[in-house]
Amino acid sequence: MGVRTHPNSLLQDLDLDKEQFQDLLTLAAQLKQEKLHGDEVERLGRQNIVLVFEKNSTRTRCAFEVAANDQGARVTYLGPEGSHLGREESVADTARVLGRMYDGLAFRGNTQDTVEQFAEHAGIPVWNALTDEWHPTQSLADILTMTEYHGGDVEDIAFCFTGDGDSNVARSLLVTGALLGMDVRIAAPAGLQPPRDVVAAAEKAARSSGARVLVTDDLDAAVRGADFVYTDVWVSMGEPDDAWAARVPSLLPYRVTDDVLDATGRPGVRFMHCLPAIHNRDTDIGARLYQQFGVEGAEVTDEVFESHRSIVFDQAENRMHTIKALLVRSLGG
């Protein structure tokens, strides 16, 4: 990528090779058991971590904070307001200041360029906590969750992402699945499919790993045989609110319903979502979509979201265990 950065930074999914990815999953599973049994060992005592978040977050922020606290590290949170970043101080200057005080930095924001600038100037490990392009800590949690439910080798898992195939989460899952040798399908209408360079990167990774990669507008073909069906919000943070007007009609055929899950032909199929999800009228957006378009929920029906086939809260929990593994591997010596 042409950026000089700390070797333990994670700026996008393909910064990891298959072995490193699997090592993080193994460590995450071990840390999860330690916590469950109450015998967790602190590996990050006296370390300080800063979270620089330009966008909102519930899971990612809390996962970093709890993971760090469990391991004996201290955390500072800099939210969308309150620091000088971008207003009175450049990314490069902010990064150099924070690099003098902290041992690691997580960044959530808009452009991938910003997280790369942090990595270039901070001199400490920098982790991408979501940009418009990638969400690598999400794929770590998602693949751990898939392996827990599937039970077999990761290469035997087939999953289908349906909906906004150009979202950060879809892109990350596509390249990660390809890296790991999985059967990856993305179902999305033309115009909302992952960009050409991301598909090319996935295809390249697949040539080494033996993964199968399918990007199509044919949802029926994409879900057939999938062990997991995954979706994300139809309009991501930072996109204009008026995007909903075009997204609702184009993505309604791609929403996850019971029929879509049944079309996999897999009795044990599971539904996945990075969250937050629009699945009823209990949010401002959900209520507005009902008023404007007459739809109850958006990317997934309430029936699916609340069903026994939904494993979304296991994914959310695994955000913490996998981010903990990332912190320990990056800073634990």
Measured from the Cβ of residue 218, the count of other Cβ atoms closer than 10 Å reads 11
Q: How far is CA 117 from CA 41, 109, 135, 315, in A?
A: 34, 12, 17, 30
Query: Residue 187: phi, psi to the nearest 5?
Result: -110, 115
Among 233, 298, 320, 331, binds ligand NVA (CB under 6 A): 233
Residue 201 backbone phi and psi in degrees, to 5:
-65, -40
168 binds, among ligand CP, ligand NVA, none (CB under 5 to 8 A by kind): ligand NVA
167 binds ligand NVA (CB under 6 A): yes
Q: How far is the CB of 56 from ligand CP (least distance, A)?
A: 6
Q: Which residue's CB is nearer to ligand NVA, number 60 or number 330?
A: 60
The reply on whether position 291 binds ligand CP by CB under 6 A is no
Residue 298 and residue 75 in contact, taking contact as beta carbons nearer than 8 Å = no
Residue 236 contact, options ligand NVA, ligand CP, none, Cβ 5-8 Å cut-off depending on partner type: ligand NVA
Residue 158, Ramachandran bin (φ over 0: left; ψ between -120 and 50: alpha; else beta): beta
Note every long-range contact of 132-136, with CB atoms under 8 Å and residues 24 or more positions apart, other chains counting: 132/168, 132/236, 132/238, 133/12, 133/168, 133/171, 134/11, 134/12, 134/13, 134/168, 134/171, 134/172, 135/168, 135/169, 135/172, 135/274, 136/10, 136/11, 136/12, 136/13, 136/15, 136/16, 136/172, 136/176
Contact status: 171 vs ligand CP (CB under 6 A):
no
Site string for ligand CP, 117-136 (x = CB under 6 A): -------------x------
* Distance linking the first and last C-alpha atoms of the chain: 25
Member of 5, 9, 48, 60 binding ligand CP (CB under 6 A)? 60
Residue 58 binds: one of ligand CP, ligand NVA, none (C-beta under 5 to 8 A by kind): ligand CP
Q: Quick one: what does residue 213 bind among ligand NVA, ligand CP, none, with the CB cut-off 5 to 8 Å set by partner type?
A: none
The option from ligand NVA, ligand CP, none interacting with 167 (CB < 5 to 8 A, set by class) reads ligand NVA
List 186, 229, 274, 311, residue binding ligand CP (CB under 6 A): 274
Stretch that binds ligand NVA, among 146-154, 200-208, 232-240, 249-257 (CB under 6 A): 232-240
Nearest Cα residue to 131 out of 148, 150, 120, 115: 115
Q: How far apart are CA 292 and CA 82, in angstroms?
A: 35
Which residues from 183-212 bind ligand CP, rule CB under 6 A?
Answer: none
Q: Residues 13, 103, 120, 232: which binds ligand NVA (CB under 6 A)?
A: 232
Token digits of residue 243: 């995007």
Interface with ligand NVA (CB under 6 A), residue from 47, 128, 168, 193: 168
Give the x/- contact pattern for ligand NVA in 265-284, rule: CB under 6 A. ---------x----------
Rounded Cα gap, residues 71 and 137, in angstroms: 18
* Positions that interact with ligand CP (CB under 6 A): 57-60, 130, 138, 274-275
* Positions that interact with ligand NVA (CB under 6 A): 130, 167-169, 232-233, 236-237, 274
